[in-house]
Structure 1
């Protein structure tokens, strides 16, 4: 097969591109599911529950396989896994899904890409790190870019309140994910990225299903076939596959280069949102994308002393 002739680095780049492609489609699937004609559109927790349910068998099998010959976890390990799973895959996801009901897929993806700068800020505030000039520049560039795209969307929609609500929910999602990344480094080193990711995902599945049971009747799971199709596609192509494609890419080319390739995500999301959802596209929006990606590029250029944080800056779903 042709891919077998690729060098490890080229294969890593290809895997990172495929992961970025998968991650970029998540917001598209969510928007398509929200737009399915029915008496009441599917709500965020129901759609997230369907996504997690379809992803559950894959992560359960992977968790069992990865844990087969591994040492057992302590009570403290399980507590850390629960906290991180609630932050990274349950909390961040439900906040993101709620936000997508209010804002465009393109703006959502850009706001999510604040997580590298937020992870740096968490390191500065809680871990005694020093804020470098390039990190200050990254913050200024990223939030200037988001501001441009925000006002671009405001010009086309005219709904300032909805835009603000949605943006705040997605920003809270990015912050939750940044806390997850900041706290996951030691666990990944001890458990390995595959085992840790699978177990954290299982925690999030349980939390999502409990949330659904407490807040919704079981009849909420009765949805039109297209909603099931979008949720299943989201689970496979925007959750399971890209998570492990990204892990494989990081092993071959390193976290920093994988992050840089992952910046394709916002561009892909905006392009597909324009093609498939009819979201407006303008030069101002593209300029905002450029500023955000420049900020990510700046914050990803780290020296040897910063590799611990850089290693956690993986493109998110």
Structure 2
């Protein structure tokens, strides 16, 4: 028999409830790791990614020898770190003679490897190398726009997969409504060839256009780099089908006698039972009853109905 341990402290219980499966999941966090050997360019790339994702990223500074995502058994440590940090996206950097300045971007499902994309970094430029007005610098936590330019993202399978991974990595938290004033930066991904993508980061400058929609200008603020697709691993059909499952929303309970109107809004009908005032228990010495009796006598006199004593006197 397996013993199930329940948390005794409220802090632990709240942490487990936060990580439990939900109908609407939380925003995805990114885990950034170093391999056994890295270069100066690769360290700068990982630092820039962490600065872009600050607030929703966890960065490990130590070197990890046991992580080999594309080899069987080499993803155990990676899955352990993903579960400990509650991160569903990871960026792993390594450097070797065969694959210089190598980045592995992957996603996890239930803290197990879902898919992988391996890219090489070339022509990297840091954010400090660009001259621009500092007011155009993106704010932490702001929602970016992402533009994919080129037919390769529609025709080449490797670039299609890279597009999905980059969307999850860069888009941030999913929102339904967005204020246009909060849009301050955009990522532009351009497919140069079947295996090369140019990634640039631009700031938005809003100018008057004479209409309600302002005119936008792009100013490159960095970082920028060329990504060369090397290897990728797609999820199996069964795993993809399981990961794409969504819980059915429970149907809303129909409210009786309630209707909606575009002008008046929510309209409801209230049914009140008949008030049987005649059967109500009233005290015998009620002043209102005595008053009603006197009024009834006066009314009878006016109508010509005389009392018995008056009739005897007349006789």
Which range, TM-score by smaller chain? under 0.3
Structure ranking higher on relative contact order (CA contacts 8 Å, 6+ apart): 1
Q: Give the TM-score of the pair, scaled to structure 2.
A: 0.22
- Structure having the higher strand fraction is 2
Q: Give the TM-score of the pair, scaled to structure 1.
A: 0.22
